[in-house]
């Protein structure tokens, strides 16, 4: 039986993690086995820069925190060496970074995640990671809006250009008539 001090610390850890999970927009659970120190340092830096809290917790603490936060289904994925990446603002940041390292390192794997108050499996996390960034989606939207306008403008310009080719011929006919008119006076 653990001492009261150790038990209080574990309960505090569970409460802190549960609060992080409740406030998060998304999270990813990964198996970090086999990752080198160099890659792990790069991974942690990328997570930190993206505003993602990435930390290794004991599976028992993570399981209790997930239950407390309303994700009891996550407990089935808490086997082996697991780390938890939780993002409060960007729902795809943790998934994108985790997928990048999972593709690069064979033993590093995505186990599961949560988003929109539901638990998702590794395939759904990978699909989430494949979504373009917010800026990319905005660019696609603006491109879709601009495309018809550009086509319309090119069409109008083609009409103007075609009309402009006929104008010089008409201008040549009108120019001699104007030149003769002052001479006649």
Is the same domain home to 109 and 19? yes
CATH number, domain containing residue 70: 3.30.70.1730
Span 134-144, pLDDT tens digits: 788 888 888 88
**The pLDDT of residue 167:** 47
Model pTM above 0.75:
no
Residue 185, domain extent: 133-185
The pLDDT-based confidence of 15 (bands split at 50, 70, 90) is: very high
- In this structure, are 141 and 181 located in the same domain? yes
Do 172 and 92 reside in the same domain of the chain?
no
- Nearest-angstrom CA–CA distance, 92 and 129: 6
Please check whether residues 111 and 146 belong to one and the same domain.
Answer: no
Same domain, 124 and 137: no
pLDDT in tens, 156-181: 888 888 876 654 444 555 555 555 55
154 and 77 housed in the same domain = no
Q: How far apart are CA 83 and CA 30, in angstroms?
A: 5
- Token pair, residue 143, equals 């491109």
Residues 94 and 143 in one domain: no
Tally the domains of the chain. Answer: 2
Phi, psi of 94 (to 5 degrees): -65, -40
Same domain? 113 vs 183: no
Residue 118 shares a structural domain with residue 170: no
The answer to whether 16 touches 86, Cβ cutoff 8 Å, is: no
Q: Is the pLDDT of residue 86 over 90?
A: yes
Residues 22 and 81 in one domain: yes
The phi, psi pair for 28, rounded to 5°, reads -135, 135
* Mean pLDDT, residues 43-55 taken together: 93
The band of 185, judged by pLDDT with boundaries at 50, 70 and 90, is very low
44 near 54, Cβ under 8 Å?
yes
Is a pLDDT exceeding 90 seen at residue 152?
no
- Mean pLDDT of all residues belonging to the chain: 85
Region 27-54: mean pLDDT is: 92
Burial of residue 54 (CB within 10 Å: 0-12, 13-18, 19+) is buried
């Amino acid at each position: 039986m653990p001492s009261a001090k150790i038990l209080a610390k574990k309960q505090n850890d569970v409460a802190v993690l549960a609060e992080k999970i409740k406030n998060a927009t998304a999270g990813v659970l990964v198996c970090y086995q086999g990752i080198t120190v160099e890659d792990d340092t790069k991974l942690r830096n990328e997570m930190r820069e993206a505003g993602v809290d990435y930390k290794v917790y004991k599976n028992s603490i993570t399981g209790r925190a997930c239950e407390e936060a309303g994700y009891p289904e996550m407990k089935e994925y808490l086997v082996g060496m697991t780390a938890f990446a939780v993002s409060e603002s960007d729902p795809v940041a943790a998934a994108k970074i985790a997928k990048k390292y999972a593709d690069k390192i064979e033993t590093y794997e995505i186990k599961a995640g949560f988003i929109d108050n539901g638990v998702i499996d590794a395939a759904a996390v990978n699909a989430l990671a494949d979504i373009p960034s917010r800026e990319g989606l905005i660019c696609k939207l603006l491109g879709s809006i601009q495309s018809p306008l550009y086509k319309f403008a090119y069409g109008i310009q083609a009409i103007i250009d075609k009309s402009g080719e006929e104008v010089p011929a008409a201008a040549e006919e009108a120019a001699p008539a104007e030149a003769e008119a002052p001479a006649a006076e």
